[in-house]
Structure 1
Amino acid sequence: MVTKGSCMCSQVGYEFTSEPATTALCHCTDCQKWTGGPYTANVVVPRKNFTVTKGTPKTYDAIGASGKVNKHFFCGNCGSSLYTELEIMPDVACVKSGCLDGGAKDHDIKVEFYTKDRLGYAKEIPGAEQLTHFG
């Protein structure tokens, strides 16, 4: 199985060759800033199965609540948020599902992180594990 994604202007492309390890929403205030929305929607995949296939994304390092680096990858041209690599989770990439080719998929969300920061109108996903923070 190969899943592909790209930024809005198509200058950066990527693919992964495995099923997601999990799917997650993150409601933390950093993710709210990162997306300009109430949360990030993530397809979490093993880094060993994730490859940038076109272009070179820019990066921004933020320090998470853990004190460890959250490296954000984005297109330097159109600004699309592509994926994150969290020092606290060294074996996976958190792919932003809105950049999957063909549009965001209606994934069965397995976990919601930082529910303490969830906005009132963003309701709990039934059946998803609810965590007030990460880790």
Structure 2
Amino acid sequence: MSTGSCMCNAVRYEYQGEPDVTALCHCIDCQKWSGAAYTSNVVVQRKAFKVTQGEPKSYAVTGASGKKNNHWFCGDCGSGLYTELEIMPDQTCIKSGSIDDRSVRDYSVGVEFYTQDRMKYCQAVKDAKQVPQFG
């Protein structure tokens, strides 16, 4: 079992098992939501993920795929925690920086989504599948 939290520890979660994939998302929504060039995501089965403490807030948006995206975050400190995408109903995209176990640093990026929106100063990750759009 792996665990994670927001910066202030008001919201905590856990998940079972290995990730389905580690993905970078360069879509405009992820850039706006994170304030960064992309989000780094550890994608797990939704049924293996649960919030164990606190009540995260969410912001729903229609993504570039045309489907609903729910971005979950701590209402106290504002840390982004995870995203649930209508286009991926069986998976949860955990923001890798919120995971407690620092072994996530050893995961290889398997795929980069929305590479058409990648910032010019960001290079493609070697050996990661490159997907211009998603959905």
Same fold (TM > 0.5): yes
**Structure 2 counterpart of 1:50:** 49
2:123 corresponds in structure 1 to 123
The count of aligned residue pairs is 134
Partner residue in 1 for 2:2: 3
The share of aligned pairs that are identical, in percent, is: 57
Task: Classify 1:6/1:104 alpha carbon distance in 2 versus 1 (closer, same or farther; 3 Å).
Answer: farther
**Structure 2: how far apart are the matches of 1:104 and 1:116?**
30
Structure 2 segments unaligned to the other structure (5+ residues): none
Q: Structure 2-normalised TM-score?
A: 0.96
Deviations along 1:91-118, one digit per CA (max 9) or x if unpaired, are: 0000000101155822200000000010
Match runs of 1:1-135 below 5 Å? 2-103=1-102, 105-106=104-105, 107-135=107-135
CA contact (8 A) 1:31 1:39 kept: yes
Contact 1:98/1:104 (CA < 8 Å) preserved in 2?
no
Unaligned stretches of 5+ residues in structure 1:
none
Q: Is the 8 A contact 2:56 2:75 kept in 1?
A: yes
Q: Is the 8 A contact 1:8 1:80 kept in 2?
A: yes
Residue 67 of structure 1 and its aligned partner are, at CA, apart by 1.6
Instruction: Give the deviation of 1:66 after TM superposition.
Output: 2.1
TM-score, structure 1 as length reference: 0.96
Cα root mean square deviation, aligned:
1.1
